[in-house]
Structure 1
Amino acid sequence: MNRIEKKWEGLIITKDLGVGVFYAGTFHKSFTLRVGMAGDLIKAQERHPNGPFQLVTLEVYRNQLLAVGDIPAEVLTTELLRESLTESDLALIAAADEELEKKLKPPSEASLTGGASSTSSSDMGTA
C-alpha cells in the first residue's frame, strides 16, 4: 500500500471495492480516499472542459484517491479507472466520499444544546 501524507491524517477513509481495479495481473480492492478539496473539481473541469459529468466525477475521485491496493500513484490514472472500475465499485467510492463528508461535519446546534424538553410549559406549576 502507498504511504499516506501526514496532512491527510483524520481526513481519509479506507474501504474495499467489490471487484477492484485490475492492474499487473491482479484485482486491487483496498482504497484510501481523502476528503474532497475545492481544487479537485476545478482541476477535473480544467482537464475535461467539455467532458460529460460522469467523466468529470471520475476525475474528481481519481484526485481524491490516495491509494488503490498496490497500484503505483503514477499509474492510477483516470483512463485506468475508466477502463477497469465497475459501476458498482464507483458507487462504493461515492458512498465512501459521502461517509467521509458526514464524519467531518461539525455537530449540529441541536446536539450541542441538547434535545427538546419532554416537559411542556403547561406541566410546570405556578406559585
Structure 2
Amino acid sequence: MAIIQARLRYGVEYQGEMHYDVDLRLPMVADSIAAIDEVGADSNLLFNLALTARCLTKLGGMPAEAITTDFLSANLVDDDFELLIDMRNALKKKRINAKSASLTTVKPSSSSAATD
C-alpha cells in the first residue's frame, strides 16, 4: 500500500498536545463509499474531509480511532487540509501507469471492393 508522509505546518491539538507528522494512504473506492455514507454527497468539502479522515494512517501520536471527520473539521487549519489534498494527489500521480492501455479508435476495414 502506497503511503506518503509529511509534516503539517499548523498541526492539530489532541489532549493538550500538538501533532504534526502525518502518513496518508491512497483512497480506494470503499473509502469513497464510506465517506458518502457518512456525510452525503451534497458537499465536496465534507466528502473530501471524510475521505481524508479514513486515509490518514498516522497523525502524530494520536490513536487511529480519534482521527475522525468531526475531529478534523474542528481542529485542522485549512492550509493543512490543502496539504493533505495535495498529498493525496501526489499519491495518485505516482500510481499512474505511464504505459497503460488507452482507448483507441480503430477504423473498421471496408467490406466493399475498391472501384476504379
| TM-score for the superposition, normalised by structure 1 | 0.73
Does residue 51 of structure 2 align to residue 60 of structure 1? yes
RMSD of aligned residue pairs (Cα, Å) = 1.4
Could you tell me which amino acid in structure 2 is paired with residue 69 of structure 1? G
Q: Rate the CA distance shift 1:46–1:98 in 2: closer, same or farther, 3 A.
A: same
Does residue 7 of structure 2 align to residue 16 of structure 1? yes
Q: Alignment length, in residue pairs?
A: 100
Structure 2 counterpart of 1:101: 92
Structure 1 counterpart of 2:103: none
Equivalent pairs: percent with the same residue? 30
Alignment of 1:1-127 (within 5 A): 8=1, 11-49=2-40, 51-108=42-99
Write the deviation string for residues 20-66 of structure 1: whole angstroms up to 9, x where unpaired. Answer: 11102122110000011011111111112265221111000011111
| TM-score for the superposition, normalised by structure 2 | 0.80
Q: Runs of 5+ in structure 1 lacking a partner?
A: 1-7, 110-127
Distance, in Å, in 2 between the alignment partners of 1:45 and 1:17 is: 26
Distance, in Å, in 1 between the alignment partners of 2:91 and 2:81 is: 15
Secondary structure class of the residue paired with 1:36: coil
Give the CA deviation at 1:103: 1.1
User: Structure 1: which 4+ aligned runs deviate by more than 3 Å?
Assistant: none
